[in-house]
Each structure stands twice: as structure tokens, then as C-alpha cells.
A and B are shown apart, each in its own frame.
Chain A
Amino acid sequence: MRFIIVRFLLIFPTIFILVTMVFLLMRSIGDPITAALGGRLSAQQLAERIEAAGYNRPLIVQYFEYIGQVATGNFGTAISDGRPVSQLLLTYGGATLELAFYALLVAFVVGIPLGMVAAYLRDRWPDAVLRVVAILFYATPVFFAGLLLKLVFSVWLKVLPVAGRASTRTELQMGKLENRTGIYLIDAIQLGSPAAISDVLQHAVLPGLALGLLTAGVFLRLVRTNVIGTLSMDYVDAARSRGVSEFRLVRKHAYKPALIPIITVIGLQIAVLLGGAVLTETTFEWKGLGFKLAEYLSARDFVAVQGIVALLAVIVALSNFIVDILAAVIDPRVRY
């Protein structure tokens, strides 16, 4: 219990430091109104807008006001379309969450079994191939992986959709739902139409793969290293001397302790996944937080950018907290 409280309190300095850094960095280049609208409005109009938004006040006053706003869940309002950033979370957060879920699923299904195979066949050719594959997964930028998958499966083989989260038909059907979650898979299940579910899943395959393979490579390496580590432990030697087969050793004895580090790494992977989501969503026109962020970036709407980045800082800090608690529940040694 004490661990949970201490770990929970640690969230706040993390968020505070990131929000402060982003605020100071973004403000060091001047006020956001000039950045977004400079050149399009007259100097007179610009000054009026700056005055109205309060950007002409001392920086320290603006800073404390901003911290106060973030503490109450107000992440600012976009200049370009006037939408509050916290509302974007409700509209687009579901899409990003769904994408991250598919990616993690791919990472687990691909990474963990392959890592075990590589450890089992250590230093033989399948191990070498798998290790190069893991590095290839890491070396391929998610957007290039996305473009390649698109090229092969959507353009050449024509078996999967090119972009988007669902076909227009399904989107229209889901639009009529009363309590939409924004997570299309759940919405499609709510509709109860098998056609909608398969449509949503078909759209998810390529983005999920593009983003998930990156993390799959990480899991593969991690499982391999840890299984090799546990295979040389005394209790595994003991089992081996009892005549347990090598395959069963990997499958039953060495495998479970090797999974504990995975849980810790998931915490860090959430950050990687969110960064990758920005690129994947842009590649596949997957309308999530990352897609929105890229849009605001090209519109030079830095209030919205700052808001989304701060929002993501909160999400990262919270999910790391949850992952750490999970890790502590599973492995009592990490508690402090």
C-alpha cells in the first residue's frame, strides 16, 4: 500500500517537469498568436488578439495561470479551430487507444513466441535470422513499414483497405449509435453487425502491424536475453538433471520469470507507441490524437500542439504508474 501511494505521488513531479519544459520552450519563440496568424492579420489585429488572450502579460504570470489550468484539466483551446484540447481527448483518444491496443497485441503474439524460439535455438541459424529480424523491426521507421504494407496488401494484392478506420458505410451506421465509445471495435460490436466488425478489423490490420512490429522486435530481444539468462539458473539445471527435455525447460521453467521484465518494458513502450502513433496515424489517415497533432503542426497552431503534448505527458505518466503497480503485484521484489 505504501508503495502505491509513494509511486502515485511520483506522478506529479514528472508531469510538472514536462509541462514546465514544454511551456518554457514553446514560449521562448514568442507568442502563439503571431506564430499561427502572423502575416495573415494586420499588426493592429494581431496586437488586439494577443491582448485579448493575455499573451502580453509577464511570462511568470502566464506560467502560473497555465499550471493552474493544467491542474484543473484545462489544456488550452486551439487557435485554428477553437476547440478545447481536453475535448479532443474524448473525440480522438479512443482511436489512439484502439491503435495502441492492436499494436501491443501484435507485439505480444509475434514477439514473445519468436523470442522463446530464438533462446531455445541459441547460436544456431534460426537464432541469427530472428535476431536480424528483430533489428530490422527496429530499424524500419513505422511510417516506412506502413507504406510498404500498404503497397503490398492494399495496392498490389488489393486485400486490405488503404487508409482510414472504417468504410463510410460502417461509419454512418455507427454514427447512429446512442452511446458511441469512439473505439470502433466496441462500437461495431454494439451494432451487432458482423459486416461492420469485419470491416473495422480489416482497417486495423495494417496500422496495427506497422506500429506493433516495432515493439515486437523489442519483446523478441528481451524474451530471448531473459530466457537465456534463466536457462542458466540453478533451478533449471536441477530440472535438467532430472531429465526434463530442453524444449520443456524453455516452455515451462525458463519462460515465466523471463516475462516479468516485459511488464516493466511495456511502461516505456507506451511512450514509444504514442510517438509511433503520431507517424502511423499520419500514414494511414487514422483519425486519432497523433493525426490531429500532425494537423495542428502544419497549421502552426502551437497552443493546440502544446496542449496535446501536455495531455500526452499526463497519459504517459499515468500509464507508467499503472504498469509499475502491475509489476509490483506480479513481482514483489520491485516494491520499495
Chain B
Amino acid sequence: MTDPVVTSAPPRRAPLWHRLPIVHQLRQSVGLQRGMLIAGLTLTGIFLLTAIFAPVLAPYGFAQLRDDNGFFGAQQAPGGAHLLGTTVGGYDVLSRVIWGTQTALAVIVVAVMLSIFAGVFLGLISGYIGGWLDRVLVVIADAVFAFPTLLLAIVAAIVISGGQSTLFGGVLAAAVSITVVYIPQYFRVIRAETVRIKSEAYVESAKVIGSSTSRIMFRHVLRNATRTLPLIFTLNSSEAILTLAGLGFLGFGIEPTSAAEWGYDLNRSISDVTSGIWWTSVFPGLAIVLVVLGITLVGESLNDLADPRLRTRRKADSPTSGVATADDAAPVTAATSATDSTGAPA
């Protein structure tokens, strides 16, 4: 997040540790905003740790129906051997909630990676080169952007996996479906930034001294256009989880024997709810809510800290944070207001 082209160099640069993305914001924040950021980071941290240590934490496998004492039995109330009860299919609820973090994390990583690469690349090309290609891409991105994301994801899921599938195919299908939907968002932001940066003096200087187009694009423009990415990244991760759950809920998720997926579990619990069996829906649902809440809190805080109108100021400004603030403010505001006016993320 450091700016390679600083016009007026700060008197003394803060240590590297303080300039790292999250750490920088954490130091910059005060009061409530710091509280929200810390809460978000904690929830996200728990989510990541659960995903990594799922094999250790989960009492049973996600597709395990029986142990040495025989079958678990369907719809067992919480308590005893099954802390959170069992589902209508006879799975252990706690184990499926824990294993579900792995599926969610895998989908986020693949989906966000894919959409960042595709969206950033297209946005950069479109914004820098312009012309008819730019116009066509903008019209397509706008059309896709205005359409219900879930419906598009359904169509993509049908195409990729024809419906249900294995862990690898299912994760990939969900991730690609989500990617198709989110490319336009990255595209729009990066394109807007690129168009703005293109007219900056340092890009012209680079042209004058004879730098190649690709060098200008990737060294000068891309470096400066990506400062808003951490923000969109967090917002899209949470949307990816919601879309995955939505697909699972409609029966386009991953088979229960291939992986644990919260949306699928919720779908199976619709009829349970009517008969008062609450544990099969409440726990996977809470897992979704907490993970999305955590990631969104981080994204929200980053957004507010990047926008001087929304940032709570520290009472007495320290010299280093003052410089960083003035330096960061302007371009980020332009990009965030671009996302804000569309109502993203929610």
C-alpha cells in the first residue's frame, strides 16, 4: 500500500511494520472504529484458524454417519456425544459446521483470486487503451452488474458442473460462478482508477522518456491503481460466502459426501424448522452470519479509514500519521465513492 511516487517525501518514513496494510489502519483507528476493526479481525481470525485446524477440531468427519457405537441417528437433540445434535441425514452438526469453514475458505480464495486477476487485467487494458474495446467492455460490465448475481451464478453453476459435484469440482464451480459475477466490480474500479492515473504527470513523463506501453501499464499505472483492492477484496469475500450459501440452498452446491457446505445444510433443514427442530438450521446459519460479519467489519473499517469524511480523527495528530493521511486520502476517496454510489457492498 506504499506509494512509489511520492511527490513530497515525508521527513521520516515509519517502520515497515507500521506501513503493512492492516497494521497501518489498526494504528490509524481510534475509539469505535478501532473496536469494529478489532472485532472484525478477531472473527476473521477465528474463521481462518478453524478452517486450518478443522481436522483437529471436528469430533467427526463431515460425511461420517456412524462410529464404534453404531449410527448417530437422525435429528438427535444437542448434547451428549453430539454437542450440537445431528441433522436429518444423520450427520453431526458441529462437525459439519467446522468442516464448512474449509469449503468456504477454499471458495473465497479461488473466487477472489480469479476475479482479481481477470477483473484487474481487463480493467487495466480497457482503461489504458480505451477506444471501442473499452466501450464494449463497459457496456457488458454494466449489463452484468445490474443483473441479480445469484441468478447469474446459477446459470454459471449449471454450465460448469451441471448441478451437484465432487469437492474439487464443486468448489471450482462455485468459485467460477462467483467470479463471473464479480469481474465487473473489479473491472469498474480498476478502470476508473486507470483512466484517472493515465492523465497524471508521471505517466506522461514515462512516455516521454520512451517507456513501453506494457511497462507503463504494469509498473506505473497498476501499482497505483491497486490501492483500493484490499477493500473490494474483503467486501467480495463476504459476498462470495453468501453466494456459495445461496447456491447450496438452491441445490447447486457440493454433495454432502464430498464436503460440508452450510447452504446445503440449511436447505435440508427447512422442514426441520416447521417441526421445531432448531439446531440443524441455527448453527450452520450462525456460522455464515459470523464469518460474513467478521469479514464485512474489516472491510467497512478499512473503507471508513480510507475516507477522511468518515474517519474519526485522533485528538492530537502524530506527524507520521498526519503525512500518511494526507497522502492516502484523495485517490482512495475517489475510488470508494465510486463503489459507494452503487450501494456496494450491501
A interface list, Cβ under 8 A from B: 13-14, 17-18, 21-22, 25-26, 28-29, 35, 123, 127-128, 131-132, 134-141, 143-144, 147-148, 150-151, 154-156, 162-163, 214, 217-218, 221-222, 225, 228-229, 232, 261, 264-265, 267-269, 271-272, 274-276, 278-279, 282-283, 294, 297-298, 300, 302, 305-306, 309, 312-313, 316-317, 320
Identify B296's interface contact among A29, A138, A265, A268, CB under 8 A.
A138
Q: Hey, which chain B residues are within 8 Å of A264, CB to CB? A: 341, 343
Distance to closest chain A CB from B8 (angstroms):
27
Distance to closest chain B CB from A158 (angstroms):
11
The 5 closest A-B CB pairs, nearest first, are A275-B148, A138-B346, A144-B285, A139-B292, A275-B150
Instruction: Kindly report which residue of chain A lies nearest to residue B343, judged by CB atoms.
Output: A265
Identify A316's interface contact among B146, B285, B340, CB under 8 A.
B146
Interface string of B129-157 (1 = CB under 8 A from A): 00000000001101110111111001110
Distance to closest chain B CB from A280 (angstroms):
11
Complex formed: what's the CA distance from A161 to B339 in Å? 40
Contact B151 A275 (CB under 8 A): yes
B274 on the A face (CB < 8 A): yes
Contacts A/B (CB < 8 Å), 25 sampled: A13-B143, A17-B140, A29-B162, A123-B312, A131-B300, A138-B292, A138-B296, A140-B289, A141-B288, A141-B289, A147-B273, A151-B276, A151-B281, A155-B276, A265-B342, A271-B149, A274-B148, A275-B148, A275-B150, A279-B250, A297-B158, A297-B252, A305-B154, A316-B147, A317-B146
Contact B251 A18 (CB under 8 A): no
Contact A283 B289 (CB under 8 A): no
Contact B140 A225 (CB under 8 A): no
Identify B249's interface contact among A139, A268, A282, A302, CB under 8 A.
A282
Q: Hey, which chain B residues are within 8 Å of A225, CB to CB? A: 310, 340
Instruction: Kindly report which residue of chain B lies nearest to residue A134, judged by CB atoms.
Output: B346
B105 on the A face (CB < 8 A): no
Contact A29 B309 (CB under 8 A): no
Contact A222 B343 (CB under 8 A): yes
Distance to closest chain B CB from A321 (angstroms):
11
Q: Hey, which chain B residues are within 8 Å of A283, CB to CB? A: 270
Complex formed: what's the CA distance from A313 to B238 in Å? 25
- Add 15 more A-B contacts to A26-B158, A217-B346, A278-B151 (CB < 8 A): A14-B142, A14-B143, A18-B147, A128-B32, A139-B296, A141-B289, A143-B267, A144-B288, A147-B269, A147-B273, A271-B148, A275-B148, A278-B148, A282-B250, A297-B154
Interface string of B25-56 (1 = CB under 8 A from A): 00000011001100000000000000000000
B93 on the A face (CB < 8 A): no
Complex formed: what's the CA distance from A306 to B159 in Å? 12
Complex formed: what's the CA distance from A298 to B274 in Å? 22
Instruction: Kindly report which residue of chain B lies nearest to residue A261, judged by CB atoms.
Output: B341
Q: Hey, which chain B residues are within 8 Å of A313, CB to CB? A: 147
Instruction: Kindly report which residue of chain B lies nearest to residue A294, judged by CB atoms.
Output: B250
Contact A25 B296 (CB under 8 A): no
Interface string of B255-286 (1 = CB under 8 A from A): 00000000100110110011110100110010
Distance to closest chain A CB from B77 (angstroms):
15
Contact B246 A279 (CB under 8 A): yes
Complex formed: what's the CA distance from A131 to B35 in Å? 12
Contact A139 B250 (CB under 8 A): no
Known contacts A138-B345, A297-B251, A14 near B276 by CB under 8 Å:
no
Complex formed: what's the CA distance from A131 to B149 in Å? 24
Contact A162 B147 (CB under 8 A): no
Complex formed: what's the CA distance from A151 to B275 in Å? 9
Instruction: Kindly report which residue of chain A lies nearest to residue B285, judged by CB atoms.
Output: A144
Please classify the interface of chain A as helix (H, G, I), strand (E, B), loop, or mixed, using the class held by over half of its residues: helix
Complex formed: what's the CA distance from A135 to B270 in Å? 24
B293 on the A face (CB < 8 A): yes
Identify A305's interface contact among B158, B245, B285, B290, CB under 8 A.
B158
Q: Hey, which chain B residues are within 8 Å of A151, CB to CB? A: 273, 276, 278, 281-282
Interface centre among B250, B252, B263, B341 (most CB of A within 10 A): B250
Distance to closest chain A CB from B142 (angstroms):
7
Q: Hey, which chain A residues are within 8 Å of B281, CB to CB? A: 144, 147-148, 151
Known contacts A141-B246, A147-B266, A132 near B36 by CB under 8 Å:
yes
Complex formed: what's the CA distance from A324 to B309 in Å? 27
B297 on the A face (CB < 8 A): yes
Identify B146's interface contact among A29, A127, A298, A320, CB under 8 A.
A320
Distance to closest chain B CB from A314 (angstroms):
11
Contact A268 B342 (CB under 8 A): yes
Distance to closest chain A CB from B182 (angstroms):
14
Q: Hey, which chain B residues are within 8 Å of A137, CB to CB? A: 346
Interface centre among A26, A131, A137, A306 (most CB of B within 10 A): A131
Q: Hey, which chain A residues are within 8 Å of B154, CB to CB? A: 297, 305, 309
B163 on the A face (CB < 8 A): yes
Distance to closest chain A CB from B253 (angstroms):
12
Identify A228's interface contact among B35, B309, B342, B343, CB under 8 A.
B309
Contact B293 A136 (CB under 8 A): yes
Q: Hey, which chain A residues are within 8 Å of B346, CB to CB? A: 134-135, 137-138, 214, 217-218, 221
Contact A155 B273 (CB under 8 A): yes
Distance to closest chain B CB from A37 (angstroms):
14
Interface centre among B148, B154, B297, B341 (most CB of A within 10 A): B148
Instruction: Kindly report which residue of chain B lies nearest to residue A219, judged by CB atoms.
Output: B343
Contact A278 B269 (CB under 8 A): no
Distance to closest chain A CB from B280 (angstroms):
10
Q: Hey, which chain A residues are within 8 Å of B147, CB to CB? A: 18, 271, 312-313, 316
Contact B158 A135 (CB under 8 A): no
B242 on the A face (CB < 8 A): yes
Complex formed: what's the CA distance from A128 to B143 in Å? 36
Instruction: Kindly report which residue of chain A lies nearest to residue B150, judged by CB atoms.
Output: A275
